[in-house]
Amino acid sequence: MEYLLSILVLCSLYVMLSSSFNLIIGYGGLVSVAHPIFFAIGAYVAALSAIHFGLPAVPAVLLGGAVAIVASAAISLPSLRVSGDYLLITSIGFQLGLLQIIKNLEITGGPGGLSNVPGTITGALRSPAFAAISVLLAAATVLLIRWLMRGPYGRAITAMRDDELAFTALGRNATHIKIVIFALGSGMAGIAGGIYAFFYQYISPEQFEILQSALILTMVVVGGISTTWGPVVGAVLLLALPQAITFIHMPPNVAGGLQGVLYTLLVLIFMFARPQGIVSAPRTQL
């Protein structure tokens, strides 16, 4: 039961991550892959504020989200100057650079990470409580994005993505939209990071590496980019399927590799057999 609840928490957090990433890359068309770094910022800020300042969990998680929003400027501001491939490479540089800083600072625990994050909720209800909070937040994230994209602001986002030149020629402010999309998406990732830190009570830089970027990107692509439910399906599928491997008794290094092989293979199969993803958007063409 404990194991299943732990998977439920993880799935919910990844639903938050993939949905918020879909807002940036799918709906906004802003090609950045640095999403895990905002997850990391949320996790580290929440954990450090709880460890060093004794901040309770809720304000600590909110602070993590707020810092992630502020940090999103590091990607949203370059996105005003460069786009496409250049923005993508910038985001990789930002992510790896910040991870390098985290790895080398004493306060963040260096490469070993932080293992003394306070438990917050204790006892038998710990996992069910975290599962409930995570599921609620994941649902709120998905519904918030759905509501946003169905409204006038969502139509403006789509218009900007489809033709930025025409959009600005009509007097609309693309700069504002880009900053808002990055801030919203990163803030959600930051909050997910905070909950992750308090639930697992251990965070390390390697949990937020470039492979995480690929995992979240994969969830969005396999599920269906620019759709509300696609990232949800992608996150659940890509987290649940490899868990089956854990029931087969294998050496850890083989099991880890096999999980990776499974999910990358799944992506490759989807890219060629069903490029629009499991849930396809009306006009998606990959």
Partner 1 sequence: MLDPIILLQIAWTGIAISSYYVLFTIAFSLALKVMQLWNFAQAGLMALAFYAMFFALNRLALPLPLGIAFGVAVTVIAAVALEVFGLRTLRARRSGNLTFFIFTLIVAEFVAYLLMMIFGTEPQTLFPSILSQVHIVMNIAVSNWDLIAVGTTLACVTALWAFLRFHQDGQFMLAVAENASLAELYGISAKRAYLVTMTIVAIISCAGMYLFGSRSGVFPTTPLELLLVAVIATLLGGMGRVFAAGVAAVALGLIQSFSVLFISSQWQTLVLYAFLFVTIIFFPLGFRLPLWLRKAFKPAA
Residues at the site binding partner 1, with contacts judged by CB under 8 A: 25, 31, 78, 81-82, 84-86, 88-90, 92-94, 96-97, 100-101, 104, 210-211, 214, 217-218, 221, 253-254, 256-261, 264-265, 267-268, 271-272, 275, 285-286
Name the minimum Å distance from CB 23 to partner 1.
Answer: 15
CB nearer to partner 1: pick between 67 and 99 = 99
Among residues 134, 135, 149, 120, the alpha carbon closest in space to that of 57 is found at 120
Residues 252, 272: Cα–Cα separation, whole Å: 30
Give 188: exposed, middle or buried? Use CB within 10 Å, 0-12, 13-18, 19+.
Answer: buried
How many residues are recorded in the chain?
286
The identity of residue 135, as a single letter, is V
CB nearer to partner 1: pick between 247 and 272 = 272
CB nearer to partner 1: pick between 127 and 218 = 218
Name the minimum Å distance from CB 212 to partner 1.
Answer: 11
Q: Report phi then psi at 225, rounded to 5.
A: -70, 150
Query: What is residue 82's three-state secondary structure?
Result: coil
Q: What is the DSSP letter of 225?
A: T
Name the minimum Å distance from CB 133 to partner 1.
Answer: 31
CB nearer to partner 1: pick between 65 and 230 = 230
Q: Report phi then psi at 61, rounded to 5.
A: -65, -40
Name the minimum Å distance from CB 264 to partner 1.
Answer: 4
Name the minimum Å distance from CB 107 to partner 1.
Answer: 15
